[in-house]
Structure 1
Amino acid sequence: MLIAILLGFLFSLLLVFTGKFFKGKPGIISAAIPLVLFGYFLQFIPEISAGGTIVHSYSWVPSFGVNLDFTLDGLSLLFSLMITGIGFLVFVYTAAYLKNHKYLDRFYGYLSMFMAAMLGLVLSDNLITLFVFWELTSISSFFLIGFNNSNPESRKSAITALAITGLGGLSLLAGALVLGSVGGSYSIDELMNSSGEIAASPYYILIAILIFGAAFTKSAQFPFHFWLPGAMKAPTPVSTYLHSATMVKAGIYLLMRMTPVLGNQEFWNSTLIIVGSITMVYAAIHTLFRTDLKGILAYSTISALGILVFLIGQGTEAALLAAAVFIVVHALYKATLFLVTGIIDHQTLSRDVTILRGLRKVMLPVAIAGFLAAISSAGIPPTIGFLGKELTYESTLALVGTPLLWIALILITKILLLHAGFVAGISPFIGQLPERFEKTKKPGILLWGPPIILSVAGIVFGVFPGIIEGSLIKPVVAAMGQDAGDQHLQLWHGFNTVLWLSVATIVIGTVLYFTIKPSQKLVKMVTRVEYISPESIISGFWSLFNKFSSLWTRIFQNGYLRNYVSTILVFLIGLTGYVLYNTANFSMDFSTLSEITVYEIVVVTILLIAVFFVVFTRSRLAAVASMGVMGLAICLIFVFYSAPDLAMTQFSIDTLTVILFVLVLYRLPRYLKLSDYKTRIRDGVLALSFGSIITILILEVLAQPVNMEISEYYAQNAYLLAHGKNVVNVILVDFRGSDTFMEISVLAIAAIGVFGLLKLRLKKTDQR
């Protein structure tokens, strides 16, 4: 299973060296990767449908309870098949959609990386591992959304998506750490067995909020939804893959996976129902005020995600069954509509639904796919969309409390989604073909083939729901801790309330479709109230934050090293002084200190004279020489206190530093007075205060009892384990060899950078 996850990453790495090969027609070969993975996961259907679970575990950081644990059950199998199956069709579609694009190989690399990250996410049984793959999906989606990097709007959309989902990633990490601490494990399977203890924990609400933060940002729930419409700047294969079947469903997957751990609690269920209902209605209404096909599909996607959150919040067997079915429904029809929109844009160079008409005459297969997807989104029999709509109504009717409110909200949402599906899947193909589109060419089979396959699958699964009932849908419900054994998928449920709600949805939605047409007038109406939208409000806070950051930078990051040092010292003086004032008892027994000798008095006096000379001299060379005197005085102090190694090190470094200073100062202009007496007095007070704080701190440390355990360990084992008689050297080279190696590496990198700057020869036009 680990190889299956890493395959996408390995292919991305391979493209770095063989990218030219995949830029042309051979690029379609890359579709073999998701196809092979799709076949790999298909073979597990019999075992999973029989109630089995496939577990693979690989040791990673066992001391922290972090391992590469992967579990394939009904829930992860459904998502894995969607990721690889739709991924295969998107790879094929991309070969034609981005044909001859100079960065086609790069696009395949990003797409493969994203596919691998999504597989790792849905298969992970360890919370920390899940977080790692979660962040990899955000990073790879950033590259995909911003693929057209020459377009400022694409770059902005990519950054916005990364910022919102990245914030959710931090929330997930915090939630995982707290949950692992409370539950005693990072294994999701083990946490399921501790759900009672977790629910009784005082940290339960905090954990739930953190998990909500991750899921709501990733799955574009209100008020974090606005990043998704902006992400439509990405090429259509990205919109299809990320925003219908994979990335936006990662948050849904997280909620479903966490339901057995955190679900069946009032806070969990109520929050999901409220947030989901707000999101689904809000986004569904927005579809009426959009004329761009991708914009309509984006908001209808947000609304569909809201429906899924709403169903997960209900938490019943019927609701979870409806959610499982609707995941399949939405993936099939929304991926189809995105692919159809991409074909229209590719062939006509337009996505404006107000001018697109009659395209069935020039692209009939595309029109068929769009029509089938539209009726599936509308929930018209015999599509699987009808099954999903019926199950949604059925579970909502069983809600305790105020079912009429929830029925009204879900009914309004379904009606508006029917309207959106018809506008996106039917409107561009009916009516008279405009003259401007008469010369539109019929797309090749690589373009219209994938949407046909997906749309036909929606019909097949609707007519024969048994194909997916036992193999995919019921195992999903079982993975969430419910038993859907008595539930069956079928087109006909008899004459009941659910049927009449479906009929009302179809009739009212169809009337609405013929009554309300997308127009610029509707777009202007919603633009007038754009200032109160979550995006505008958050953008306002973002602007204020930028202004504050600029002010902060001008004050504290103004380019003067002296200012940086002063700021750090003031902070340390304030913090350390406050702690010492409240905790220090100043019980130092000075009789335990060694006596002060005349040699020490002389050396310290010389040291102080050198300090004053550095401060007040007007000669750079004299200042450098005085600094050398200070260094030699410190060397003598080390010698007095039996530290010859430190003295030699100090002597070597100090001598080298003085030489370097002299060489550098030789090239500088004559001495300039850059500070007045007030500045020097301020700096002097600051230096004396910091020195006093350090002195008091050292005295406090000396007054504390000393634990010699570590020192004795090093002294006893330096020669036995490392065969060295110099304990300090052994510690640096052997016991802490990795630290020393990294420090050497940092110094080497810095030296290379300095050498590069010294050798840099800029043209006069590039110099500043």
Structure 2
Amino acid sequence: MLIAVLAGLIVSILYIPFGKYLRGRLAILVALLPITLFAYFISFIPAIQDGRHVHSHHPWVPSLGINFDFHLDGLSLLFSLLITGVGSLVFLYAAPYLKGHRYLDRFYGYLSLFMAAMLGVVLADNVLLLFIFWELTSISSFFLIGFNNGNGASRKSSLIALGVTGGGGFLLMAGLILMGHLSGSYSIQEMLGSNEFLKSHTLYGLILILVFAGAFTKSAQFPFHFWLPGAMKAPTPVSAYLHSATMVKAGIYLLARLQPVLGGTDYWMYPLVVIGGITMLYSAFHSIFRTDLKSILAYSTIAALGMLVFLIGIGTAESLLAASVFILVHALYKASLFLTAGVIDHETGTRDVTQLSGLRKVLMPLSVAGILAALSSAGLPLTFGFIGKDLIYEATLQTTGFWMIALTTLALLTNGLLLCAGFMAGIKPFTGNLPDSFAQVHLPNGLMWGAPLLLAILGIILGCAPWLVDDALLNPAAYVMHQSAIDSPLKIWHGFNLVLLLSGVTLALGTLLYIVRKPSAASLASIERYNNLAPKHIIGSLARYARKISIRYTRTLHNGYLRVYLLRIIIFAILLLAFRLFTGGPIKLTFDTLSPISIYEVVVVGILIAAIYITVTAPSRLTAVVATSVIGYCICLLFVFYSAPDLAMTQFTIDTLTVVLFVLVLFRLPPFLNFANRGVRIRDGIVASAFGLVIALVAIQVLNQPVDGTVSKFYGDNAYLLAKGKNVVNVILVDFRGLDTMFEIVVLSIAAVGVVSLLKLRLKASEKE
């Protein structure tokens, strides 16, 4: 499974040197990757149907508890088939849709990377590995949403999507680490044995908040839903793939996967039912006011995601089976509708439903795809959507009392609104009279209308023969969520009962609403009057306020002057050290342990003080540099006095090199310093004196502490034995602390590259401005 997961990543890297060869007719060949992976995962259906699971273990960073552990069961197989199956059609669809695009190879690279990330999310058994792939989906989707980077709206939408999902991902990381720490393992399968411990722990509520934050932001739950309609600026293949079948369902997958670990409590159920219920009704209501095809589908997608969260929150066997069925139902009809909308936009140049009509006369196969997908979304009998809708009503009717009435009513209203939205997107553009402006419209490449038609027909086939995916795919997925056998075969007909009545009411309500409701710019404007109360505006206002604070903070503390940074660092160090000194017990000022002061030391210190005075008062830069070098050489002499010739030589070399570099740099600068005003110099003098005093007190305190020679004895005894070196200091730097030294060298190398780049930089006049 490791190769299957990383295949998309490997292919995306190969696009860098070889992508230019796949911009023409060969672009269609890239679909071989998802098709091959789809066939690979289909081969596991017999094993999953028999109740077996497939596990793969590859050590990665075992010291941190991170391994490439993959686990394939009913739930991950369902998502893997959606990712690779819908992905195959999207890859094929994109070749003619983006034909001739200068960045087609780049698009396929992003798409392959995203597919790899999604497979990693649904197959990972290690929560830390899951999080890594989770963030990779956010990064790759950022590039896909902003693919049309010449468009400012696309760039803004990609940034908003990354900001919302990335922020949720940060909180999710904390929740997953907390779960692993408390349960003693980062393996999801092993966490199942600690579920009761986690639920009874005092931090259980915090874990839920963090996990919900990650799931709700990724799956566009209210009030974080606003990023998804904005993401419709992406090309249609992206919308069909990311926003109907894969990325937005990552949050759904996370909740479904953690249902047996964290679910089964009121703290789990109520937030999911309430947030999911608000999301699905709010978004379904908004969908019928939109006039842009992709906007209609975006809001109806958010409503469907809310429905899935709602079903997982109920947490019964019936609701979890309904969720697993609806995941597949929604992926089939929504991907078909998105791809249909893309063809309409591609051929007519508009997605405005108020202008689209009669396209069946020129796009007949596409009209069949759109109508069949719309009927499946409506839940018409003999469609897969009908089975999914019935299961939703069965799940709500299994609750009792007030909850049964409230949840069933909520589901009924949402389904009625979604039916209307589905008809607006899938039927309205093809019915009525064909405008003269569309008379020249013709069918595009067969791959563009064949992909949505195939998905729509599959929705009908599964509606007539649900046993094809019943025991093979959907019941195993529900079993993983419920952790008990669910023997509930999907049926076309359940007899005359309350569920059938509710389905009929849904069809009547939604159809009546579609007939009565006429989308228009006026109706859209009527609801947009309240945008100031919408979460997007409120959160956007908070973001703008935070940006203003950040700008003020940056201008105050990070104004670009090195002297200001040094001043603040030193002041902070003074306060921190002084606080520790005066709260850590009495300060010892005894000097009994110090060696006698020699005349050589007095002379050297006198020279050092004089050099410091010259450095801070010299009117010439060159004089200040020379005086600074004298300070360094005085320190070299002190090292010699205290029997540290190796340190003295090191200090001497560094000082000499520094002086040479300073002189070379200052050669091109003005010869005189620009002195600061008297107040600034007094301030700097006070800070410098205070810092010196604190460091002196720290040094005296250290000298008054009993000497523990354990570490130095270890280095002295083992320098030659372990590292074959007689110079202990060199051995410490190169061998015992070799990793530190390596990173120091890397930092210096990077700095050197930066300096050379700046020295070699030659800006144009316009760039200098």
Would the TM-score normalized by the shorter structure come out above 0.5? yes
Aligned 1:20-39 pairs, distance under 5 A: 20-39=20-39
The 3-state SS of whatever aligns with 1:291 is coil
| CA pair 477-699 structure 1, distance change in 2 beyond 3 A | farther
Q: Which amino acid aligns with 2:454?
A: I
Offset at residue 702 of structure 1 (A): 4.1
Deviates more, 1:541-550 or 1:294-303: 541-550
Which residues of structure 2 form unaligned runs of 5+? Answer: none
Alignment pair present for 1:630 and 2:654: no
2:101 maps to amino acid: H
Which one-letter code corresponds to 1:70 in the other structure? F
Amino acid at match of 2:213: G
Which stretch shows the higher mean deviation, 119-128 or 659-668? 659-668
- Opposite residue 295 of structure 1, the aligned amino acid is S
Distance 1:205 1:438 in 2: 60
5+ residue gaps, structure 1, are: none
Task: Quote the residue 1:191 is aligned against.
Answer: 191
| Structure-1 separation of matches of 2:453 and 2:701 | 78
Alignment partner of 2:288: what SS? helix
Matched, 1:420 2:421: yes
Superposition map of 1:518-557 within 5 A: 518-557=519-558
What residue is the counterpart of 1:237 in the other structure?
Answer: 237
CA RMSD of aligned residues (A): 1.5
**Separation in structure 1 between the aligned mates of residue 461 and residue 713 of structure 2, nearest angstrom:** 76
- 1:575 is displaced (CA, Å) by 3.0
Match of 1:382 in 2: 382
What do the CA deviations read for 1:439-479 (whole angstroms, capped 9, x no partner)?
Answer: 11112211111111101111111111111110001111121
Tell which deviates more after alignment, 540-549 or 229-238: 540-549
Local SS of the residue matching 1:56: strand
Q: Deviations over 1:235-288 (max 9, x none)?
A: 000000000110000000000111111111110111111111111111111112
Alignment-derived partner of residue 137 in structure 1: 137
The amino acid that maps onto 2:468 is: I
Q: Flag the 1:537–1:580 CA change in 2: closer, same or farther, 3 A.
A: farther
Q: 1:555 and 1:282 mapped to 2: Cα distance? A: 43
Distance in 1, matches of 2:75 and 2:222, equals 25
Aligned residue in 2 for 1:610: 611
Query: What percent of counterpart residues are identical?
Result: 56
Letter in 2 for 1:304: A
- For residues 382-434 of structure 1, the C-alpha deviation after alignment (integer angstroms, 9 at most, x for no partner) is 11111111111111122245221222211111111001000000000000001
1:484 and 1:417, CA in 2 relative to 1: closer, same or farther beyond 3 A? farther
Q: C-alpha separation between the residues in 2 aligned to 1:302 and 1:580? A: 58
1:460 aligns with 2:425: no
Structure 1 residue 759 corresponds to structure 2 residue 756: no
Partners of 2:165 and 2:765 in 1: how far apart? 44
**Partner SS, residue 59 of structure 1:** strand
The corresponding residue for 1:664 is: 665
1:482 aligns with 2:483: yes
Deviates more, 1:307-316 or 1:489-498: 489-498
One-letter amino acid of the structure 2 residue matched with residue 686 of structure 1 = V
The equivalent of 1:65 in structure 2 is: 65
**TM superposition shift of 1:756:** 2.9
**1:48 equivalent in alignment to 2:48:** yes
What is the match of residue 492 of structure 1? 493
Shift in Å, 1:640 = 2.2
Q: Residues 211-240 of structure 1, C-alpha deviation per residue, up to 9 Å, x if partnerless?
A: 111100100011111111000000000000
Aligned counterparts of 1:739 and 1:272: Cα–Cα separation in 2 = 48
Counterpart of 2:7 in structure 1 is 7
- The CA distance in 1 between the partners of 2:577 and 2:498, in whole Å, is 71
The worse-fitting range, judged by mean Cα deviation, of 325-334 and 619-628 is: 619-628
Query: 2:177 and 2:352 mapped to 1: Cα distance?
Result: 47
Match of 1:366 in 2: 366
Q: Partners in 2 of 1:697 and 1:352 — Cα distance?
A: 74
CA drift at 1:703: 4.3
Q: 1:450 to 1:559 in 2, by over 3 A?
A: same
Does the C-alpha gap of structure 1 residues 700 and 283 become closer, same or farther in structure 2, counting only changes over 3 Å? Answer: farther
- Which residue of structure 2 lines up, in the alignment, with residue 436 of structure 1? 437
Q: Which moved more, 1:295-304 or 1:472-481?
A: 472-481
Asked whether the 8 Å contact 1:144–1:234 carries over to 2, the reply is yes
SS of match in other structure, 2:291: coil
Alignment of structure 1 residues 547-626 onto 2, 5 Å? 547-587=548-588, 589-626=590-627
Question: 1:569-614, CA deviations, whole angstroms, 9 ceiling, x for partnerless residues?
Answer: 2222233333333334324653223333332222222222221221
CA positional deviation for 1:556: 1.9
Kept after mapping to 1: 8 A contact 2:280/2:305: yes
Q: Does structure 1 retain, via aligned residues, the 8 Å contact 2:316–2:482? A: no
Match in the other structure for 1:286: 286
Range 663-672 or range 278-287, more displaced: 663-672
Tell me how far apart the structure 2 counterparts of residues 118 and 469 of structure 1 sit (CA, whole Å): 24
Alignment deviations for residues 656-686 of structure 1 (CA, whole Å, 9 cap, x no partner): 2122222322322231433111100001111
Q: Match for residue 744 of structure 1?
A: 745
Alignment of 1:683-694 (within 5 A): 683-694=684-695
Question: Relative to 1, partners in 2 of residues 1:542 and 1:458: Cα closer, same or farther, differing over 3 Å?
Answer: same
Asked whether the equivalents of residues 288 and 522 of structure 1 are also in contact (C-alpha less than 8 Å), the reply is: no
Task: Using the TM superposition, name which of 549-558 and 109-118 deviates more.
Answer: 549-558
- Provide Cα deviations, 1:460-499, integer angstroms capped at 9, x if missing partner: 1111111111000111112124334331210211222211
Deviation string, structure 1 residues 673-710 (Cα, Å, up to 9, x no partner): 33111100001111112222223333344445555444
The count of corresponding residues between Structure 1 and Structure 2 is 768
* Counterpart residue type for residue 65 of structure 2: G
Residues 622 and 671 in structure 2, CA contact (< 8 A), matched pair in contact too: no
Match of 2:85 in 1: 85
Greater mean deviation of Cα atoms: 646-655 or 610-619: 610-619
How far apart in 2 are the matches of 1:85 and 1:128?
27
Residue 699 (structure 1) aligns with: 700
> Secondary structure of 1:480's partner?
helix
Question: What is the CA distance between 1:21 and its match in structure 2?
Answer: 1.6
Residue type of the alignment partner of 1:651: F
Is the 1:584–1:700 contact (alpha carbons within 8 Å) kept by the matching residues of 2?
no
Q: 2:181 is matched by which residue type in structure 1?
A: S
2-structure distance, mates of 1:413, 1:702: 76
Residue 402 of structure 1 aligns to a residue whose secondary structure is helix
Q: Counterpart of 1:261?
A: 261
**Is 1:515 equivalent to 2:511 in the alignment?**
no
- The alpha-carbon distance between structure 1 residues 699 and 280, as it changes in their structure 2 partners (threshold 3 A), is farther
Q: String of CA shifts for 1:124-183, please: whole Å, max 9, x gaps.
A: 000111011111111111110010000001011111111111111111211111111100
Query: Is the 2:471–2:489 Cα contact (8 Å) retained in structure 1?
Result: no
Worse overlay, 593-602 or 415-424: 593-602
Task: Give the match for residue 474 of structure 2.
Answer: 473
TM-score, length-scaled by structure 1: 0.98
Equivalence for 2:717:
716
Cα separation, 1, equivalents of 2:397 and 2:691: 70
Query: What's the counterpart of residue 177 of structure 1?
Result: 177
SS in 2 for 1:716: helix
Residues 321 and 484 of structure 1 are in contact (CA less than 8 Å); yes or no, is this contact kept in structure 2? no
User: What CA distance in whole angstroms lies between the structure 2 residues aligned with 1:703 and 1:420?
Assistant: 80
Pairwise CA distance, 1:518: 1.0
Distance in 2 (CA, whole Å) between partners of 1:446 and 1:707 is: 77
- Provide the rounded CA distance (Å) in 1 between the counterparts of 2:580 and 2:534: 46
Alignment partner of 1:289: what SS?
Answer: coil
* Mapped partners of 1:252, 1:267: distance in 2: 17
3-state DSSP class of the match of 1:592?
coil
In 2, distance between residues paired with 1:767 and 1:422? 57
SS at match of 1:590: coil
| Contact map agreement 2:383 2:462 (CA 8 A) in 1 | yes
1:115 is aligned to 115
The answer as to whether partners of 2:82 and 2:245 remain within 8 angstroms in 1 is: yes
Q: Indicate how the Cα distance of structure 1 residues 663 and 64 shifts in structure 2: closer, same or farther if over 3 A, else same.
A: closer
1:112-132 Cα deviation digits (max 9, x unpaired): 110011111110000111011
Q: Write the letter of the residue equivalent to 1:627.
A: T
In structure 2, give the amino acid aligned to 1:575.
L
Tell me which residue corresponds to 1:342. Answer: 342
Query: What is the CA distance between 1:735 and its match in structure 2?
Result: 2.3
Change (3 A) 1:346 1:632: same
The 1:399/1:583 distance shift into structure 2, 3 A limit, reads farther
CA contact (8 A) 1:284 1:416 kept: yes
Partner of 2:331: 331
For residues 236 and 211 of structure 2, the distance between their equivalents in structure 1, rounded to whole angstroms, comes to 30
